[in-house]
Amino acid sequence: MADDIDDLADRVTTGDRRALARAITLVESGRDDHRTRAAALIEALRTRDGPQALRIGLSGTPGVGKSTFIESFGMMLIARGLRVAVLAVDPSSARSGGSILGDKTRMERLSRDPNAFIRPSPAQSHLGGVARRTREAVALCEAAGFDVVLIETVGVGQSETVVAEMSDLFVLLLAPAGGDELQGVKRGIMEIADIILVNKADGDLKAAAERTRADYAGALRLLRKRPQDPEGFPKAVCISSIEERGLTEAWDDMCHLTEWRRETGHFDARRAEQARYWFGEEVRQALLAQLDKEPVRGIMEDYGARVASGEVTPAIAAHEVLRLIRGG
């Protein structure tokens, strides 16, 4: 097994796209033997020195133009000599039937470019599992020599927070709307955003986009100052993905913010915090996985039936199950 893992690691680091796809398939698998091999692969790649990719988390409401933005932004980065990977976290895909696959077909130019790599997430309803494997896929893309990894979240709510825990920058994409659209964006998402991009700032929507930008810029000034931000950040700017306007300026802002964080130590400190967070998540997910295995699964089903019949309360049943699991 070790020779096979070392060979796969070698091929990933040389930029072999088939090897990268195979490696991501391995880390996405939920089989215990595959999880063991995936952990060995990630460890083998971790010990090899290589350049760090810039990890950019991206979120936005449906219809905001994420696919168009990713394609235009990705092609702009490739024109600058950079290699771009696009990954996705989609906790709703098991119910929606694979919305990200539709995104991939809409990003036709980017998907055909040899300097781009687009990977939809597995169709699972459990956000923690999808996110954990996406994080490992990010590490694989970084090892494969991609300069920028875009991590798109299709879900709403918790998925934004999870993606922020695997990103160096978090970008929120919005469409032009009236000022009261502020009410529709959760404060928590605003607080984790580093840059807000108001898309579709073209044609008849240009004026509305500028008003929306001004509204969000004002809202950002009211938020508590974060130590990881230089003067002027977080910020809101207008872009047009269709006309490819404002993308270069947005990239310059991202580079400026990243360089400042590197120089001040915030970049490395944040990655260290994220590693600690994912350690905790690995432990939690492993403990939760035990609930689906025997003998715990049988105990859960037995007590579940007793709770349903009214024989015992949920609290007492939970206490008894935990006592049996601990062997007390």
pLDDT of 156 reads: 54
Identify the segments of the chain with pLDDT beneath 70: 1-3, 90-105, 121-131, 154-158, 178-186, 328
Evaluate whether 20 touches 5 at the Cβ level (below 8 Å): no
Q: ∠234-238-243 over CA atoms, to 5°?
A: 140
Rounded Cα gap, residues 15 and 147, in angstroms: 12
pLDDT of 57 reads: 94
Rounded Cα gap, residues 11 and 163, in angstroms: 27
pLDDT of 96 reads: 44
pLDDT of 97 reads: 42
Q: Which of 37, 16, 38 lies closest to 27, judged by CA?
A: 38
Q: Which of 183, 179, 172, 188 lies closest to 215, judged by CA?
A: 179
Evaluate whether 231 touches 260 at the Cβ level (below 8 Å): no
Please list, in sequence order, all residues whose beta carbon lies within 8 angstroms of the beta carbon of residue 61, skipping any fewer than 6 positions away: 156, 174, 175, 184
Evaluate whether 176 touches 214 at the Cβ level (below 8 Å): no
Q: Is the pTM of this model over 0.85?
A: yes
pLDDT of 124 reads: 52
Q: Which of 185, 172, 176 lies closest to 234, judged by CA?
A: 172
